[in-house]
């Protein structure tokens, strides 16, 4: 239905604010807050508890599996004795080095206006919500699926930005290849035995199956078709909660042919507290498109804290 003259005037008045040029290097605190809100719009990234750093390169702690640190007190021990004490520093460290990335998008004025009307927000809040929702989805996609050696294809430029978690997890020696077979719960039960026991002991409640939506749907279909329930997987109201006692995380847009078992805390997105936002709504192209152009510059890396704590699966039908 076409706009009335009054609606056209109201729309123009509401959108005049975003049609001004803006170029802002956000303060570090605002950058982190913006990124946390953006990450919160995605499904899996918030659960990975991203790390924020001031510097573009440095080190973060590896997973700690230290044990048997208790010693018998020796009456003769002094503060200078070092042969019978444990190392208080504990964890090792692994390097990170962020990549500069940018996200850009033309946002149509009509889309902002309809969002404004449906949500009852002010125009700036409505616009930022739209930006964060799409930026968050793209960040999760890149952080998991990025591959600097990606072949030709429509998404090549996107994927080649950096190596994501899937590419890096494939450096683990703990792998199951199910070939052309359809994935079954039994495949997953056999596979979980590859994850070293020391991680199961230390991180049992944190260990997670990372699955694509397609693999998840196939496993749910298998379980739903069983005549009697088994103890190897749990369906609650049709939702697959655990396999072999370990929780399940469906990663939106996770590439097909891959699944993994690893502690959730083993996958760490690293961001710096730097963010630049540029917007323009001025000029003939903006007028022609009836839209504003937005760019975000951010810095990130994907770190696996302990490759040995990853057991992954590959297969044509995963």
Count of beta carbons in the 10 Å neighbourhood of residue 294: 23
pLDDT for residue 10: 54
pTM metric for this prediction: 0.86
In the chain, the domains with their CATH numbers are: 5-57+94-159+269-304 (no CATH), 172-267+306-314 (3.30.2320)
Please give the chain's pLDDT, 318 residues, in tens.
455 555 544 555 555 656 678 899 999 999 999 999 999 999 999 999 999 999 999 999 999 876 666 666 665 555 555 444 444 445 689 999 999 999 999 988 888 767 766 666 677 788 888 899 999 999 999 999 999 999 888 888 999 999 999 999 999 999 999 999 999 999 999 999 999 999 999 999 999 999 999 999 999 999 999 877 777 888 888 899 999 999 999 999 999 999 999 999 999 999 999 999 999 988 899 989 989 899 999 999 999 999 999 999 999 999
Question: Comparing C-alpha atoms, which of 199, 236, 197 is closest to residue 220?
Answer: 236
Q: What is the DSSP letter of 4?
A: P
pLDDT for residue 89: 46
Count of beta carbons in the 10 Å neighbourhood of residue 4: 9
**Beta-strand relationship, 291-304 and 99-108:** antiparallel
Contact between 70 and 84 (Cβ < 8 Å): no
Contact between 207 and 199 (Cβ < 8 Å): yes
Q: What is the DSSP string of 164-185?
A: -HHHHHTT-SEEEE-TTSPP-H
Tokens of 26: 């956000």
Strand runs labelled E in the chain: 22-25, 51-53, 57-61, 93-97, 99-108, 174-177, 207-211, 233-236, 239-243, 246-250, 258-263, 267-272, 276-280, 291-304, 311-314
**Burial of 208 by CB count in 10 Å (0-12 exposed, 13-18 middle, 19+ buried)?**
buried
Cα Rg of the chain, angstroms: 24
pLDDT for residue 231: 79
């Amino acid at each position: 239905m076409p706009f009335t003259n009054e609606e056209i005037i109201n729309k123009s008045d509401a959108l005049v604010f975003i049609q001004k040029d803006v170029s802002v290097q956000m303060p570090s605190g605002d950058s982190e807050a913006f990124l946390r809100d953006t990450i919160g719009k995605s499904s899996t990234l918030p659960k990975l508890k991203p790390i924020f750093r001031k510097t573009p390169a440095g080190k973060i702690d590896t997973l700690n599996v230290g044990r048997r640190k208790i010693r018998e007190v020796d009456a003769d021990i002094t503060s200078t004795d070092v042969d019978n004490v444990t190392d208080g520093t504990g964890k090792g460290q692994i390097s990170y080095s962020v990549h500069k990335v940018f996200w850009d998008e033309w946002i149509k004025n009509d889309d902002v206006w309809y969002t404004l009307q449906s949500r009852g927000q002010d125009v700036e809040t409505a616009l930022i919500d739209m930006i964060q929702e799409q930026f968050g989805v793209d960040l999760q996609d890149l952080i998991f699926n990025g591959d600097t050696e990606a072949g030709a294809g429509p998404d090549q430029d996107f994927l080649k930005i950096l190596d994501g978690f899937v590419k890096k997890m494939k450096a683990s020696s703990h792998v199951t290849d199910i070939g052309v077979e359809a994935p079954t719960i039994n495949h997953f039960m056999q596979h979980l035995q590859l994850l070293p026991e020391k991680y199961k002991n230390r991180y049992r409640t944190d260990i997670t199956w990372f699955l694509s939506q397609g693999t998840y749907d196939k496993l749910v279909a298998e379980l739903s078709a069983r005549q009697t329930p088994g103890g190897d997987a749990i369906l609650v109201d049709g939702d697959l909660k655990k396999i072999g006692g370990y929780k399940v995380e469906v990663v939106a847009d996770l590439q097909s042919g891959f699944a993994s078992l690893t502690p959730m805390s083993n996958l760490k997105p690293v961001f710096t507290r730097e963010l630049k936002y540029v917007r323009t709504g001025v000029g003939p192209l903006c007028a022609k498109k009836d839209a504003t152009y937005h760019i975000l510059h951010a810095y990130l890396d994907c770190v696996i804290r302990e490759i040995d704590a990853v057991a992954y699966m590959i297969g044509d039908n995963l």
